[in-house]
Structure 1
Amino acid sequence: MRNHDRFIDQLSSSARPVKRLWPVSWRVASWIALVLPCGMLSSWALRSHLTDWTQPGAFSALVTLLLSFIIGSGAIAGSFMLSLAGRAPLRLKWLALLALGWLLLNLGNMTYSAPSAGSGQFGEGIHCYLFMLSAGLPMVAISIIALHRSRSLYPGRSLALAGCGIAFMSSLLLSLCHETHLHALDFAMHLAAGLTLIAVTFLAGRHWIRLDS
């Protein structure tokens, strides 16, 4: 094309202003402010009772709740960081260590006895699984919308990290209405729900946050 000026004018007329993204810290805070209330509302029908923090193992359960919040916030921060060109990705070693500590605390909390009626049964585990899914699915939609606005340099990693954040935030909400002690089958269903949310986030978002979308 010989008339470069005309071509430049055509491109300029079709260009739209780019909205500047919020800082990652503000995006994470906004994400938390949205997903926790939405998760609570969507899982309200499956809430059976509030946690009795006077039970044995309450301190360990409270620590795992706080770890769930920290890990969930860190994971979504890492997901948002991957959207920024020229910024070093968030180092995830400390998140992996916190997740390992969360896992060990939950495994240690299985040693407490005197379960309540129905606790540890397969039906109770299914109830927890459905609770986490109902809490997490609105979070999936919110996360995909947030990532779609900024795109991502690494879509697969962004979605995997977002899914991890959703899984831990759903676990946090479950901790607010669950026995402080755990049983192996029950906890296995917790882990299964978390893996399901990660898979759903990845599959639902892979066509929405690509750079060329």
Structure 2
Amino acid sequence: MRNHDRFIDQLSGSATPVKRLWPVGWRVAAWILLVLPCGAISSWALHGRFTDWSQPGALSALLALLLAFMLGSGAIAGSFTLSLAGRQPLRLKWLALLALCWLGLNLSNMTFAGAPAGAGEFGEGIHCYLFMLSASLPMVAISITALRRSRALYPGRSLALAGCGIAFMSSLLLSLCHETHLHMIDFAMHMAAGATIIAMTVFAGRRWIRLDGRI
């Protein structure tokens, strides 16, 4: 094209204003305010009871719940930060340390006795698995929509972090209607649900937020 000025005018005429993204902290706060109520509503059909915090192991379960909230918030903050060009990603070693503390609390809570009938059985674990998946579905849609706004430079990593955040928030909701003590089969199904949520988030989101071929 020889007439460069005309081409520039055509491009300028078709350009639209770019809406500025909120700061990461505000985006995380808005994400939390959206995903927790939506996750609670979508999993309501599988909600059987509220947690009895007077049971043995309640303190460890409550600390694990708080850590799950911190991990979910930190993971989605890392996902939002990583999706912005020129931003340094969050240091994941702190999230890894919190995750080890969360895992240790849950493992230590398996030693408490006095479980009700049916606890620790495979069927109970399947119920928890389905609860977390049901709670995660609207969270996945909300997270992919939020990441699509910034067109992530590294979609696989951003989505994996978002999936981690969703898994921990789903675990938090499960903690509000679960026994304070855990059993090995039950907790194994919790972990399986978390892995499924991460894989589902990455698989569902790659085609929507892909910017280029990078992982």
Q: Match of 2:98?
A: 98
Q: Which residue of 1 aligns with 2:25?
A: 25
Counting only pairs closer than 5 Å after superposition, residues 79-158 of structure 1 correspond to structure 2 as: 79-158=79-158
User: Is 2:55 aligned against 1:55?
Assistant: yes
Q: Any conservation in 1 of the 2:151–2:211 contact (CA below 8 Å)? A: yes
1:179 aligns with 2:152: no
Q: Using the alignment, how far apart are the partners of 1:156 and 1:83 within structure 2?
A: 10
Alignment RMSD, CA only?
A: 1.0
Distance 2:168 2:7 in 1: 50
Distance 1:158 1:6 in 2: 39
Secondary structure at the counterpart of residue 161 of structure 1: helix
Q: What letter corresponds to residue 20 of structure 2 in structure 1?
A: R
Q: Which runs of 4+ in 1 moved over 3 A?
A: none
Q: Which amino acid aligns with 1:118?
A: G
Q: Hey, what's the Cα distance between the residues in 1 that align with 2:212 and 2:104? A: 41
Which residue in 2 is equivalent to 1:160? 160
Q: Give the whole-Å Cα distance in 1 for the aligned partners of 2:202 and 2:78.
A: 15
TM-score (norm 2): 0.97
Q: Is the 8 A contact 2:153 2:212 kept in 1?
A: no
Give distance in 1, aligned partners of 2:173 and 2:179.
Answer: 13
SS of the residue aligned with 1:207?
A: helix
Structure 2: how far apart are the matches of 1:32 and 1:143?
A: 10
Q: Give the AA of the match of 1:190.
A: H
Deviation at 1:100, TM superposition (A): 0.7
Residues in 2 aligned to 1:163 and 1:21: alpha-carbon distance in whole angstroms: 21
Return the offset for 1:136. Answer: 0.6
Q: Which amino acid aligns with 2:92?
A: L
Query: 2:28 corresponds to which letter in structure 1?
Result: V
Q: For residue 106 of structure 1, report the CA deviation from its aligned partner.
A: 0.4
| Cα-to-partner distance string for 1:122-180 (whole Å, 9 max, x where unaligned) | 11000000000000111000000111111111111000000000000000000000000
Count of residues paired in the alignment: 213
Secondary structure of 2:20's match?
coil
CA distance in 2, matches of 1:212, 1:53: 48
Unaligned 5+ segments in structure 2 are none
Q: Which secondary structure state, in structure 2, belongs to the residue aligned with residue 105 of structure 1? A: helix
SS of the counterpart of 1:208? helix
Deviation of the 1:40 alpha carbon: 0.4
Deviation at 1:212, TM superposition (A): 5.2
- Counterpart Cα distance in 2 of 1:132 and 1:83: 26
* Identity, % of aligned positions: 79
Could you report, residue by residue, the CA deviation over 1:78-113 in whole angstroms, capped at 9, with x for unpaired residues?
Answer: 000012111111111000000011011101100001
Rounded to whole Å, the distance in 1 between the matches of 2:212 and 2:57 is 49
Q: CA deviation at 1:72?
A: 0.2
Cross-structure match for 1:191: 191
